[in-house]
Structure 1
Amino acid sequence: MKAPISSALAAIFLTACATAYRPYTFLGGGGWKEVQIADNAFKVTFEANGHMSKTQAADLALLRAAELALANGYSHFIIGSAPDDSRTGAYTTPSTTNINLTTYGNSTRGTAQTYGGQTYVFSFPAPSITVVLFKEKPPLSTTVYDAALVAKSIKVQYGIK
């Protein structure tokens, strides 16, 4: 019974592609998470699988921040902090050695070949941003994002409806 389940899970992971732009689901390979931390502030994280670049994951966190601003009646936002919660890991495949021996009288000759032992390094991007939302563009000396422009631009860039 365990073999069919293991095979099915392996097939899912081997055929997976980049994380879809959607709310976070563990079995879906990631997505966005958000938590409201003040009346006009949110922490947004986009957890991606190993098939997505850090840049794309950061763009999708920015898109979610813009959507939150617009959905809550705000037109602009700034990024207060942007820690990187990405995770990396490695997996080394098991190694196997095949030995072929041939004996001629008192002598034995052989060959040995070792397969496997490759190490694969993977990264799961998870940019996290804290955003402060504004009803109008504030006169600040930091980057102020226009929520509508950010949402439109990133959706076009990644073909998101």
Structure 2
Amino acid sequence: MKTRLAFILASAALLAGCATEYQPHNSEGGYSEAPIEPGVWRVKIASTPYTLQQQIQDFSLLRSAELTLQQGYSHFTLAAPDGKASAQPGPDVVVRMFKQRPKEGAVQYDARAVCSQLGTRYEVTCRDRPQ
């Protein structure tokens, strides 16, 4: 029984080591982005097969929030790359940024609040401006 438990714990540790981390894109996954027009960017999250869907969504939101702050905005909405409104963060989203909270429309996110909540969870400090 102890051998089985040790095997399970070792396997879990190994799989956790294979999960994608919050980082710029490299051979192990991560985020990338590209501008579409002023205040509109496309964010992609590349992951490994061991990355949980919730983590992909969290990284999508976290990178969108960090990028929003870096571009001098405070709020953002997400849409699917095909232009359809989407409230769900995912591996490929279009981020529309706003200087202040929009009065109506799609689901809106406060970039500082997202950075605070998810940054704490993943031990990431959002930067307002790129270094």
TM-score (norm 2): 0.72
1:44 corresponds to which residue?
Answer: 43
1:145 corresponds to which residue?
Answer: 109
1:54 touches 1:127 (CA, 8 Å); kept in 2?
Answer: no
CA distance in 1, matches of 2:16, 2:52: 17
2:59 corresponds to which residue?
Answer: 60
| Residues 1-161 of structure 1: pairs in structure 2 closer than 5 A | 16-26=17-27, 29-81=28-80, 127-161=91-125
- Give percent identity, aligned residues only: 33
Structure 2: gaps (5+ residues): 1-13, 83-89, 126-131
Deviation, 1:141, is: 3.1
1:116 corresponds to which residue?
Answer: none
Deviation, 1:139, is: 0.9
Give the 3 Å change call, closer, same or farther, for CA 15–70 of structure 1 in structure 2: closer
Give the number of equivalent residue pairs.
Answer: 105
Amino acid paired to 1:19:
T
Amino acid paired to 2:114:
V
Give the 3 Å change call, closer, same or farther, for CA 37–49 of structure 1 in structure 2: same
TM-score (norm 1): 0.59
Report the 3-state secondary structure (helix = DSSP H, G, I; strand = E; otherwise coil) of the residue aligned with 2:77. Answer: strand
Structure 1: gaps (5+ residues): 1-12, 84-125
Amino acid paired to 1:69:
T
Report the 3-state secondary structure (helix = DSSP H, G, I; strand = E; otherwise coil) of the residue aligned with 1:145. Answer: strand
Deviation, 1:70, is: 0.3
Please provide the CA RMSD for this pair: 2.1
1:82 touches 1:127 (CA, 8 Å); kept in 2?
Answer: no
2:15 touches 2:50 (CA, 8 Å); kept in 1?
Answer: no
Larger Rg: 1
Amino acid paired to 1:71:
Q
1:32 touches 1:64 (CA, 8 Å); kept in 2?
Answer: yes
Output one character per residue of 1:114-137: Cα deviation in whole Å (capped at 9) or x when no partner.
xxxxxxxxxxxx711101000011
**Greater strand proportion:** 1
